[in-house]
Structure formats: structure tokens, C-alpha cells
Amino acid sequence: MCGITGVIAFNEKGKESFSLLDNSLKTLALRGPDGEGKYINNNVALGHRRLAIIDTSAVANQPFTDATGRYTIIFNGEFFNFKEHRDKVKDYPLRSSSDTEVLLYLYIKYGAACLEFINGFFALAIYDNVEEKTFIARDRMGIKPLLIYKDENKLLFASEMKALLAFGIPREMDETSLWQYIQFNYIPQPWSIFKNVKKMEAGTFMEIHKGEIRTKRYYSIPLQPPVNPEKDYDKAQQKLEELLDNSVQRRLISDVPLGAFLSGGIDSSVIVVLASRHTKHLNTFSIGYKDEPLFDETKYAELVAKRFNTNHTVFKLSNDDLFDNLYKTLDYIDEPFADSSALAVNILSMHTRKHATVALSGDGADELFGGYNKHAAELRVRKKGITETAVKTLNPLWNALPKSRNSAFGNKVRQLQKFSEGMNLSEKERYWKWASWYDAEQSGKILLTSETQRHRDYNNRKNEILKNINNSGNFNEVLYTDMHLVLQGDMLTKVDLMSMANSLEVRVPFLDYTVVDFAFSLPAEFKINTQTGKRILKDTFRKELPEELYNRGKHGFEVPLLKWFRTGLKSLLMDDLLHKDFIREQGIFNPTEIENLKQKLFSADSGDAATLTWNMLVFQYWWKKNMT
């Protein structure tokens, strides 16, 4: 696990950026505290920061050059099954036991086809100094990030936005990205907050030769039903368990201390079940919330830890602990990102890093197997009966009643209103509404300008994101879209940023491509029905997990934002980031809408005002740090 950065110059002017490589590397220090390396030759400058996981010796340091001196690689990630492929390159003079060296020689022997051998997660660049050609690639699921900037003189790439900004690139904000950020709390991939920066798409590689760029997709999640789908539910459970067990085994390879996150939910508990088969006294970590018992799941985590005899550590947090971590989190975010649970992930990563360098996580299961509340709602709409029709009929009542995330009643009203409104929409539009915090009109209204071009760009992006939902009734289309929008844009971004802020590697067994391919080969009814989501996952491990995990509702994590805005963050909001004079001078947001938001925030019927205010606070904090 590391951070990478680089310059590919198209001419002499492009080489001027070589002198800024050190600046870029400094911004990635937390991603790779164990070492730094550079390679500059011809038209390329490559930089690497190392977090040593496999073969921690100096001989495995990067950039890594082959024995002939022709090929050089920088690699951020893990190639879990590299030992299976060492024989393919046994004729080459291997001098380390690292996965990076095996990967480099696989590339030398097979070219871009080497990617087919890799089971893992990565972003990489390989330079051939004879042909002066650069090869760049990103893993199948987009677990490891890679951002790209290009102009007429050069192409820059880096693991994080801050590393690109260190090269002094133009900072021209993309209004369409801002609009979508307000709507989702994150910016969907492959776009970014800047017009001239894109996130490399998952499952693609790029070849750059003499200024010409060729991009090709080498992997796509299989959406089309298989020719011979598994129709036997019991056999499907056996296959799922086998694939997940193999995935977890692959991810236990490490030359440094390893553990697992254990939240008390099904997903992380399944990972612990499997890891415990192959590791005695597995280290497990969870966080609890002293002041928010509704969201404290540590008692369930402790049940799992006790059953599987793990070495379990609980970090009990107060709201003050979350608040004290606020600025550390905001300072590391280098692009607007307003998923407030990043605060908890940051603290969990910080404490876990004191005990381990690698942690397994249960991320990805909700998207694969239909575990979100919106998935249950979508299925109920498609199979609507008397109850669903009644909810739709009562929409005027839901509109009239107060709605808030800060009370059980207000939150239920909010959910019922959103459900009833969604029933009137097509599958595409309903997905868009339920994936969003705010609809296009609401989120667009808060922006000062309303240009035709921005609307056109917005609709083009929306159509691209929704292109695989075809109103066909195939529920896998919803999960497929979640894998690209929600998983990549929100969940994986959050975990990568917050774990790397603490020099911790997080591995995600559910996103092994063999598991993903199998999940999308299954009929939707194996995964979700009107009684339960993640059906096959729950049933597969029902005999091993405590029954208490199955007899409770799904809880997300909620930060006490409203309380903070009315107390500790009030001055930052009212006197600084959302002060009316600053808003007018900034010229981005509609001052009237911002004033209305502040009034609603302090009213009895706050609704989603706290969420939108957090969205605004994150953006304004980022803007002041990066754009002024």
C-alpha cells in the first residue's frame, strides 16, 4: 500500500513539472510513511511513497526497475495471488519476495494481459525507457484511486488530488460537479471538482506513447444473466461460502500485523467468521458511541468476538471525541466529500493503526446483495400491494407533517414521504431520487447561476450514470448502478481517504472479482425479497453467527450534526463559512437560499437542514483552503 505520483511530458515544457515531483510526494507522506523513491528518465518522472506490507525489506522499495534497466514500476496496492504466478516469470532474475517484482515481470512477458492475472487492488504505472511508453492501470472495482490531469504539455497522475495540486495545476471549478456534490454529498466518478481532473475509471488501463493516449477497458462487472444460472439456492450458498473463504484467505497475506473491523453487523461479522478459520486469535476492532446508544452496536460485535475467540478491542467514543477529530478529517479531505461517517472511519482507523497495519473490512456487501433500505423500498414499489398504495395515497399528510433525522417520528415521516414520491417515478428516476439527498431542483437552486450549459452537462452525466437501468424489471441493474455510483463515489472513497490518513491498509474481501462475478450471476430473488435484503449472505452464515444479529434493524451511523451546529460549530458557520458577506463575495451560492437554510437549521422543523449545512460546511472549508 502506497501513494504514487508522476509526470509524463509531451515536450520540453512538460518536463518543467519534474522539479515539482518532491512537492507532490510530500503530500502523500501519510499514505507511505516507510519510504520515498523517485525515478526520472527521458520524458517521465515517477514518485512513490511506501507503506511496507509484503517484503518489508529495502530490496522491494519502489520505483522498482527490472534487471535490464529497461522497465520501471510504481505500484500502489496488493497483488494477493502473486505467489501463484511466480512460476510464469521464473526465468527472470527475481531478487525480492515482493508482489511488485512479480507483477513487473508479468508485464514484461505478457504486456497489458498481465492485468488478467491480478487478484487484488491497485493503481500502477510502468515505464519502458526504450520505447518511451508508459502503461497506467487501475483495479477492477476502483478500490485504489488514481486521478489524471492532462494539458497540451503533459499528463500528471496521482493517488490523491492534493498531490496533483502540488504540481500547480489550474484550479478551475466544475459547476456540474458542485451541483452533483450538493445532491449526493460526494462527486460521482470519473468526474472531480476540477474541470481538468478526472478519476481514472475502474477496470481500465492507459498507454501513453509520444503524446498519444490509448485507453481500454479490461474488466466490466457482468450485468447480463449467465447462460446457465445457478438455480439451486443451497448450491449457490455453498459456492458463495467457498468464494468468500478463498477471498479472505488471499487477503490474510501480510508481513505486518493484521486485523479486522468488526461493527456488529452481518457483513463485517462474516469476514471475521472466515478469517478466524485461518488465523488464531484474530485481532478485531470496533467503535462504540457513549452518547448515542441507538447507533452503538458494540454489544453485537462483542458477541461475535466472543464466539470466535478474537482479540477484540473496543474504542468507546463520545460526541466530544467525534468533534475533536473534526478538523483533522476536514484537513485531509482534498475534494468536497460530505459523508459525515468519515469522522468515525477516521477515528477507527487511527486507533486500529496503533495495533495493526492492515485491516479487513465488510464494505461492498450491501451493494452486491441488496442491503440498503432503498433496495427494500424499490422491491416494495415493484411488488406494491395495499400497504404501499396507502402510503402513496397519504402523500399530502407526509408533506404536511414535520420531518427530521433527529427524532424517530420525524425520520419515519421523512422516509414515508420519499417513498410515496418515488412510487410515481420510473425506475431510472426513482433510483436517482433515492440515491440523492436532494433532487436536482433543490440542489441546483442553492447555486447562484443557472446556465444552460451546466444543465446540459448535468443531464449528460445523469444519463451516463443511469444508462444500465432500463426499466426492465431486472433488479440487478439497480445493484450494478450502485456498484459504480455509491460504492466507488462514496464508500470506497471514504475508506481509502480515512485509512490512508492514518497509514492503514484496508482490504475488502467482498470485492474480490470472483465474488462480484458470482453475485451478479445470481437471480435477484436469491439476494433480496420482501422480508430481507442480503438474503443469501445471511442464510449462508446463519448457523455460525449469533442469532441476535438477525433480529434487529439496520442502523447507519449518524453524527450529531444538528447539536454541533447549534453549539460548537455555530460561530464557524454564522460568523465565517456561511456569513452573508462571505457568501456574497464568494459568488457561488444564492445568498437568499443560504439565509433560508440557516433559519431552518435553528427552527423546530429542521428537516434535512443539518445534512445540507454539513455539505455546505465541508465545501466552504475546502474552498477556503484550496481556492483562496
CA end-to-end distance (rounded Å), the chain: 33
Q: Which residues pair with 212 in a beta bridge?
A: 209
pLDDT-based confidence at 113, cuts 50/70/90? very high
pLDDT tens, position by position, 260-272: 999 889 999 999 9
pLDDT-based confidence at 15, cuts 50/70/90? very high
pLDDT of residue 575: 93
Do 18 and 61 have their domain in common?
yes
114 annotated active-site: no
Look at the block and give the residue holding cell 437554510: 597
Do 27 and 146 have their domain in common?
yes
Q: Which residues pair with 359 in a beta bridge?
A: 259, 506
Asked if pLDDT for residue 505 goes beyond 70, the answer is yes
Do 617 and 496 have their domain in common?
no
Helices (H), 353-489: 365-369, 373-382, 386-393, 395-400, 408-422, 427-435, 440-445, 452-465, 476-482
Say if residues 332 and 326 touch (Cβ distance below 8 Å): no
pTM value is 0.92
Instruction: Give the pLDDT mean for 416-435.
Output: 82
Do 83 and 206 have their domain in common?
yes
Rounded CA gap, 83 and 179, in Å? 46
Do 206 and 238 have their domain in common?
no
Do 545 and 583 have their domain in common?
no
Do 365 and 497 have their domain in common?
yes
- Among residues 2, 44, 208, 522, the one annotated as catalytic is 2
pLDDT tens, position by position, 523-574: 999 999 988 999 999 999 999 999 999 987 666 566 788 888 998 899 999 9
pLDDT of residue 454: 73
Q: Which of 60-69, 340-349, 351-360, 384-393 has the lowest mean pLDDT?
A: 384-393
Task: Determine the residue type at 231.
Answer: K
Asked if pLDDT for residue 400 goes beyond 90, the answer is no
- Give which of 200, 127, 104 is closest to 159, Cα–Cα: 200
Do 352 and 482 have their domain in common?
yes
Instruction: Give the pLDDT mean for 332-337.
Output: 96
Chosen domain end from 493, 517, 550: 550
Chosen domain end from 550, 570, 603: 550
Say if residues 600 and 607 touch (Cβ distance below 8 Å): yes
CA 294 to chain centre: 25
Do 143 and 262 have their domain in common?
no
Asked if pLDDT for residue 451 goes beyond 70, the answer is no
Rounded CA gap, 574 and 4, in Å? 39
pLDDT tens, position by position, 587-610: 999 999 999 999 999 887 777 889
Rounded CA gap, 261 and 181, in Å? 28
Rounded CA gap, 172 and 194, in Å? 6
Percent of the chain with pLDDT over 70: 92
Domain containing residue 253: CATH number: 3.40.50.620
Q: How many domains does the chain have?
A: 3
**540 or 439: which carries more pLDDT confidence?**
540
pLDDT of residue 296: 72
DSSP annotation of 438? S
pLDDT-based confidence at 347, cuts 50/70/90? very high
The whole domain housing 329 covers: 233-369+476-550
For residue 451, is it within any domain?
no
pLDDT-based confidence at 369, cuts 50/70/90? very high
Do 297 and 322 have their domain in common?
yes
CB atoms within 10 A of CB 572: 18
Look at the block and give the residue holding cell 483552503: 625
Instruction: Give the pLDDT mean for 368-383.
Output: 90
pLDDT of residue 19: 97
Look at the block and give the residue holding cell 495471488: 81
